[in-house]
């Protein structure tokens, strides 16, 4: 449903413009500690150089994160860099000098020079939580969409290639999954996993694959009688080889478009689940969780509502822009 | 036509069984024990609590093998008997009926308003495709469509409900609604439904108006439109009498696809606005491990989806004589 609603953009819509917002949000998510952390990006401490926020950002990276370690004094949770560091020594602080989980003395304060977007009900800096919320949203959005894409391509390809009763069975599966409410699946998944990012990724991945599956199935049904497929079959290529090497490349382009829109959908579902208290659990900064605490404090601190709302909106727009541009490119390439 | 409908219904049966079977297993294998939720917290002594739990489990039929319980459940389901809620002992069928009516009222109102907006806006945009109106509406729809419904809900609650105090936003009626005379009570319900209704309506209106626009624009280049113009029909007549009816046919499919989602209730919105509909019922049931309600609600949702798609296909064929049943 998301896809068709995007109107044709103006002719001046360039690739850079279409992908810039998504790129900015992605970088924000990767480099969150460089922008908001309670330790400096770079500083001199007891005669040595330290890069605590930089290494914290490194820990967020996929794969590399496990190897990166923060320098010793900065690793302790009770190490207070603001009080301990020599004020005369060099220190490059992030623009928002607060940890997302750090509880300050003033709760529910409005925007000010120390707290740009104010503080929430527990006195945590909203700007810092907003920036770190991007990490959760982008991680869930991208990984859940990849999972959905993998399942969708696999189911759609098998259904479209083999047809017959296999197609009938898998089509019923697709139909049933569409009817199946997201809310129940989270129950099932929480039976095996504790609530957290992994559970949310699984829930979204396992429910949102149907549009890709239907797309790939339709493409495969269309391609099944193409000459090159018949030729491959004639010289004895295996089904797996024909699917992966001969047919999949032709069906991949529209899948990429769908997945770009899917990232927006996944981000929205993640925030919604976190709002309901079923997503990313409480102390972790997430946009849905921030929206929830804003909901609970709406009479005393209505200003808390706007930051997460705008963040979610901008992320969705960023994905839609990129998706609309990709689709337009593919459409004109097809013609 | 009847043979086609019957065959579609027949194919709906395995889908229905699959959905309810998966839900049944998920619900029963999931964490948390409804007997524990119900009896564990209230009783102080652990031995007493264990005994009470065992009694509740046998009373609720939670102690047999899973497959046998599923078959029994389907058997009762066919007779529309969904059992009683673990939570308050009410009949699940009565609960579902009441909640479904409230969600359906809201959903249908939102759909009708969305169509009333989308059809003229879409038709006008198509008539002047590429003009300032078309582009402006396009940009507006693009923006509106990127706002998730619950984000819009939060913004409306805070701005219209809390800061401006224009409209109520919690529940379906004022606390003193029982004492109001008939008309006033309806007005009260309408006022309470305005904000949540708007949240359901705007994405539909945005989506449908683009959809109508694209379809009307495609139809406008057909030969019979040129014929109508050549015969001297006015712009309005060409647009609304010749072009629109044909462009609206695909709209049926879209509505049919959107309707089940609307009717099974927007969980987050209904929780946010304390609207006592299907979504809220499901959420509460999931949180309380109220098995009969969860199963009943998912069975109802599945039936609505299956019947919705069937109804659309039949309507489509009834409206367009070119479509044949196969």
What tens-digit pLDDT sequence spans chain A (335 residues)? 344 444 444 444 567 788 899 999 999 998 899 999 888 888 888 888 888 888 888 888 877 777 777 777 777 777 788 878 877 788 888 888 888 888 887 888 888 888 888 888 888 999 999 999 999 999 999 999 999 999 999 999 999 999 889 998 898 888 888 877 777 777 677 767 778 899 999 999 999 999 999 999 999 988 888 888 889 888 888 888 888 888 888 888 899 999 999 999 999 999 999 999 888 888 889 999 999 999 999 988 888 999 999 999 999 999 999 999 998 888 877 66
Residue pair B76/B83 in contact (Cβ under 8 Å)? The answer is yes
Average pLDDT of every residue of chain B: 84
Looking at the partner chain, which of A6, A175, A302 has a beta carbon nearest the beta carbon of B163? A302
Q: Rounded CA gap, A327 and A331, in Å?
A: 6
Q: Rounded CA gap, A205 and A183, in Å?
A: 13
Nearest CA in chain A to B302: A179
pLDDT digits (tens, 9 = 90+) for A107-127: 888 888 888 888 888 889 999
Q: Rounded CA gap, B40 and B25, in Å?
A: 23
Q: Give B251-305 as a DSSP string.
A: HHHHHHHHHHHHHT--HHHHHHTT--SHHHHHHHHHHHT-HHHHHHHHHHHHHHH
Percentage with pLDDT > 90 across chain B? 29
Q: Rounded CA gap, B191 and B186, in Å?
A: 9
The tokens describing A201, both together, are 């990724």
Q: What is the pLDDT of residue B136?
A: 95
Looking at the partner chain, which of B11, B150, B298 has a beta carbon nearest the beta carbon of A181? B298
Could B154 and A320 be called an inter-chain contact, meaning their C-beta atoms sit closer than 8 Å? no
Residue A136 CB-density burial (10 A; 0-12 exposed, 13-18 middle, 19+ buried): buried
Q: Which residues of B touch A287 (CB under 8 A)?
A: none
Q: Which residues of B touch A3 (CB under 8 A)?
A: none
Could B283 and A317 be called an inter-chain contact, meaning their C-beta atoms sit closer than 8 Å? no
ipTM score of complex: 0.87
Nearest CA in chain A to B155: A305
* Ranges of each domain in chain B: 98-276
Which backbone phi and psi does A322 adopt, to 5 degrees?
-60, -45
Among A62-76, B35-49, B209-223, which is the least confidently predicted range? B35-49
CA-based nearest distance B229→chain A, Å = 27
B166 vs B259 pLDDT, higher one? B166
**Predicted confidence (pLDDT) at residue B31 exceeds the cutoff of 60:** no
Q: What is the pLDDT of residue A237?
A: 87
CA-based nearest distance A98→chain B, Å = 26
- Report the CATH architecture of B98-276: Orthogonal Bundle (1.10)
pLDDT digits (tens, 9 = 90+) for A50-65: 888 888 888 888 777 7
Residue A52 CB-density burial (10 A; 0-12 exposed, 13-18 middle, 19+ buried): buried
Q: Which residues of A touch B163 (CB under 8 A)?
A: 302
Q: Which residues of A touch B135 (CB under 8 A)?
A: 10
Q: What angle do CA B206, A25, A111 make, to 5 degrees?
A: 90
Average pLDDT over residues B141-167: 93
CA-based nearest distance B105→chain A, Å = 21
Q: What is the pLDDT of residue A1?
A: 38
The tokens describing A278, both together, are 């079923």
Could A298 and B162 be called an inter-chain contact, meaning their C-beta atoms sit closer than 8 Å? yes
Residue pair B114/B205 in contact (Cβ under 8 Å)? The answer is yes
**Predicted confidence (pLDDT) at residue B190 exceeds the cutoff of 50:** yes
Closest CA relative to residue A260, chosen from A326, A210, A314: A326
Q: Which residues of B touch A4 (CB under 8 A)?
A: 207, 210-211, 214
Q: What is the pLDDT of residue B68?
A: 81
Q: What is the pLDDT of residue B214?
A: 92
CA-based nearest distance B267→chain A, Å = 9
Q: What is the pLDDT of residue B30?
A: 60
Could B22 and A180 be called an inter-chain contact, meaning their C-beta atoms sit closer than 8 Å? yes
Instruction: Give residue B54's Cα distance to chain centre.
Output: 38
Handedness of CA A171, A172, A173, A174 (dihedral sign): positive
Q: What angle do CA A56, A58, A60 make, to 5 degrees?
A: 80
B319 vs A26 pLDDT, higher one? A26
Which of A184, A276, A278, A325 should we substitute to test contact with B (largest number of B Cβ atoms within 10 Å)? A184
Q: What is the pLDDT of residue B266?
A: 84
- As beta bridge partners, residue A48 has A45
Q: Which residues of A touch B251 (CB under 8 A)?
A: none
Looking at the partner chain, which of B15, B26, B147 has a beta carbon nearest the beta carbon of A313? B147
Helices and strands (H and E) in chain A: how many: 16, 3
Could B146 and A313 be called an inter-chain contact, meaning their C-beta atoms sit closer than 8 Å? yes
Nearest CA in chain B to A295: B154
Please tell me the number of Cα atoms within 13 Å of B130 on its side-chain side.
Answer: 2
Q: Which residues of A touch B15 (CB under 8 A)?
A: 172, 175-176, 179
Residue pair A285/A329 in contact (Cβ under 8 Å)? The answer is no
Q: Rounded CA gap, A218 and A216, in Å?
A: 5
Could B210 and A7 be called an inter-chain contact, meaning their C-beta atoms sit closer than 8 Å? yes
């Amino acid at each position: 449903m998301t896809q068709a609603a995007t109107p044709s953009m103006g002719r001046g819509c360039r690739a850079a413009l279409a992908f810039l917002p998504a790129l900015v949000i992605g970088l924000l998510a990767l480099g969150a500690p460089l922008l908001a952390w309670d330790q400096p990006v770079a500083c001199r401490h007891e005669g040595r150089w330290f890069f605590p926020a930089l290494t914290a950002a490194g820990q967020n990276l996929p794969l590399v994160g496990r190897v990166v370690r923060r320098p010793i004094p900065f690793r302790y949770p009770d190490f207070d860099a603001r009080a301990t560091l020599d004020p005369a020594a060099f220190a490059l602080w992030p623009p928002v000098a607060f940890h997302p989980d750090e509880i300050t003395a003033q709760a529910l304060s409005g925007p000010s020079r120390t707290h740009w977007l104010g503080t929430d009900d527990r006195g945590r800096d909203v700007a810092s939580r907003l920036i770190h919320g991007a990490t959760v949203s982008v991680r869930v959005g991208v990984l859940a969409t990849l999972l959905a894409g993998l399942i969708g391509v696999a189911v759609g390809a098998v259904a479209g290639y083999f047809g017959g009763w296999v197609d009938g069975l898998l089509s019923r599966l697709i139909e049933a999954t569409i009817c199946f409410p997201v809310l129940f699946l989270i129950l099932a998944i929480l039976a095996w996993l504790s609530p957290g990012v992994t559970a949310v990724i699984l829930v979204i991945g396992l429910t949102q694959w149907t549009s890709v599956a239907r797309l790939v199935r339709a493409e495969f049904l269309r391609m099944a009688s193409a000459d090159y497929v018949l030729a491959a079959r004639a010289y004895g290529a295996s089904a797996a080889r024909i699917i992966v090497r001969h047919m999949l490349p032709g069906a991949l382009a529209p899948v990429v478009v769908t997945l770009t829109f899917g990232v927006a959908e996944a981000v929205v579902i993640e925030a919604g689940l976190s709002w309901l208290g079923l997503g990313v659990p409480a102390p972790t900064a997430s946009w849905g969780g921030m929206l929830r605490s804003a909901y609970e404090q709406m009479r005393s601190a209505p200003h808390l509502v706007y930051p997460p709302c705008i963040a979610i909106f901008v992320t969705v727009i960023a994905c839609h822009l990129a998706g609309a541009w990709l689709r337009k490119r593919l459409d004109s390439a097809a013609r | 036509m009847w043979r086609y409908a019957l065959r579609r219904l027949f194919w709906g049966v395995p889908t229905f069984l699959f959905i309810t079977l998966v839900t049944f297993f998920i619900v029963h294998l999931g964490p948390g024990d409804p007997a524990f939720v119900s009896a564990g917290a209230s009783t102080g002594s652990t031995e007493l609590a264990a005994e009470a739990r065992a009694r509740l489990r046998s009373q609720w039929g939670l102690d047999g093998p899973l497959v046998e319980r599923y078959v029994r459940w389907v058997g009762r389901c066919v007779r529309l008997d969904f059992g009683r809620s673990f939570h308050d002992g009410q009949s699940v069928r009565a609960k579902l009926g009441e909640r479904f009516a409230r969600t359906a009222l809201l959903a249908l109102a939102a759909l009708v308003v969305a169509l009333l907006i989308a059809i003229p806006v879409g038709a006008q945009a198509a008539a002047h495709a590429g003009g300032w109106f078309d582009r402006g509406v396009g940009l507006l729809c693009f923006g509106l469509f990127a706002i998730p419904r619950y984000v819009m809900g939060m913004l409306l609650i805070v701005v219209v409900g809390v800061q401006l105090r224009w409209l109520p936003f919690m529940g379906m009626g004022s606390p003193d609604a029982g004492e109001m005379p008939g008309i006033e009570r309806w007005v009260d319900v309408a006022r309470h439904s305005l904000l949540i209704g708007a949240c359901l309506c705007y994405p539909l209106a945005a989506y449908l108006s683009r959809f109508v626009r694209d379809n009307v624009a495609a139809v406008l280049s057909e030969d019979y439109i040129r014929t109508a113009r050549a015969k001297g029909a006015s712009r309005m007549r060409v647009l609304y009498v010749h072009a629109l009816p044909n462009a609206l046919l695909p709209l049926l499919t879209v509505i049919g696809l959107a309707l089940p989602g609307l009717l099974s209730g927007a969980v987050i919105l209904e929780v946010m606005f304390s609207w006592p509909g299907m979504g809220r019922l499901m959420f509460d049931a999931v949180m309380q491990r109220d098995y009969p309600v969860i199963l009943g609600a998912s069975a109802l949702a599945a039936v609505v989806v299956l019947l919705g798609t069937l109804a659309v296909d039949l309507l489509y064929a009834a409206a367009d004589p070119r479509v044949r049943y196969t």
